[in-house]
Copies of this chain bind each other. A is one copy, B any other.
């Protein structure tokens, strides 16, 4: 194993103490760098500590740049990494500070660096911290199709309801265009309710009321879906009626708790 292999082990794996240490350091640096980006965006803090923040940002950016290059060098198929999801995230969250050197007026684009935060998921994946998350993820993935149908339905209802409100309320109440009215419909259906646009006419308020009560039922659906999937998961795990005993003759599993004979070969259990 050459020096490339060693770097690979440290950067990409989390089995060795060095690899683990590297991941923890990365995690801490990401959090610090995101806090820096956030503080920088606050006017009066940036005014007072501009230089200190910039220096710390540069230190972290140079570290991430080095890490990015090390990742490319130490892997066998660099292109695959570069164009992978995390490769792209790594690139676009490192580059803004360099760009800001040559191009002015890109101050706002520096916020792109918070995308670094997504890398945290990769680190956690390596450290295998998220056993619990996978159960949640599985439940959500299992109900993917149902959720898609649901969102599809919500969008269609929002477009129709938004258009109706556009006709009923008109520009005076803030329903200046259909897209804006659709935005309002989603704000209402999801029970967010900013209140920046709100119906003024009695008829508009009546329709809004109907949308809200529909929203009740609507919010119940994803909850029902996720709960059912999670419960299924749990149920599968805790199913007492089917025990873990294996048939001595045919090795069939999943017998009823009160089974006397194997359901597969009929021999005594």
* Segment with Cβ contacts to B, from A14-22, A49-57, A74-82, A226-234: A226-234
Nearest B residue to A259 via CB reads B263
Q: Are A166 and B41 in contact (CB under 8 A)?
A: yes
A 107-123 to B, binary, CB cutoff 8 A, 1 in contact else 0: 01101101101101100
Q: With A133-B149, A166-B111 known to touch, is A262 a contact of B261 (CB < 8 Å)?
A: yes
A 252-269 to B, binary, CB cutoff 8 A, 1 in contact else 0: 111111111111111110
Q: With A191-B191, A212-B187, A263-B258 known to touch, is A227 a contact of B220 (CB < 8 Å)?
A: yes
Q: Identify whether the interface residues of A are mostly helix, strand, loop, or mixed.
A: helix
Contact of A261 (CB < 8 Å), options: B140, B176, B240, B263:
B263
Nearest B residue to A162 via CB reads B114
Q: For A112, what are the chain B residues with a Cβ–Cβ distance below 8 Å? A: 163, 167
Q: With A209-B183, A226-B220 known to touch, is A263 a contact of B256 (CB < 8 Å)?
A: yes
Q: For A6, what are the chain B residues with a Cβ–Cβ distance below 8 Å? A: none
- Bound together, the chains give a CA A130 to CA B150 distance in angstroms of 11
Contact of A227 (CB < 8 Å), options: B167, B186, B228, B256:
B228
Q: Are B258 and A253 in contact (CB under 8 A)?
A: yes
Q: Are B257 and A256 in contact (CB under 8 A)?
A: no
**A65 proximal to B (CB < 8 A):** no
Q: Are A194 and B195 in contact (CB under 8 A)?
A: yes
Q: For A194, what are the chain B residues with a Cβ–Cβ distance below 8 Å? A: 193-195, 198
- Bound together, the chains give a CA A55 to CA B86 distance in angstroms of 45
Q: Are A213 and B151 in contact (CB under 8 A)?
A: yes
**A217 proximal to B (CB < 8 A):** yes
Contact of A167 (CB < 8 Å), options: B108, B190, B192, B258:
B108
Q: 6 shortest A-B CB distances, which residue pairs?
A: A261-B266, A194-B195, A192-B193, A259-B263, A224-B226, A224-B227
A228-B230, A259-B264 known, 20 other contacts, Cβ within 8 Å: A37-B163, A38-B159, A41-B166, A41-B178, A112-B167, A118-B160, A133-B149, A135-B146, A136-B150, A154-B213, A186-B213, A187-B193, A187-B208, A190-B191, A190-B216, A192-B192, A224-B230, A228-B233, A256-B263, A261-B262
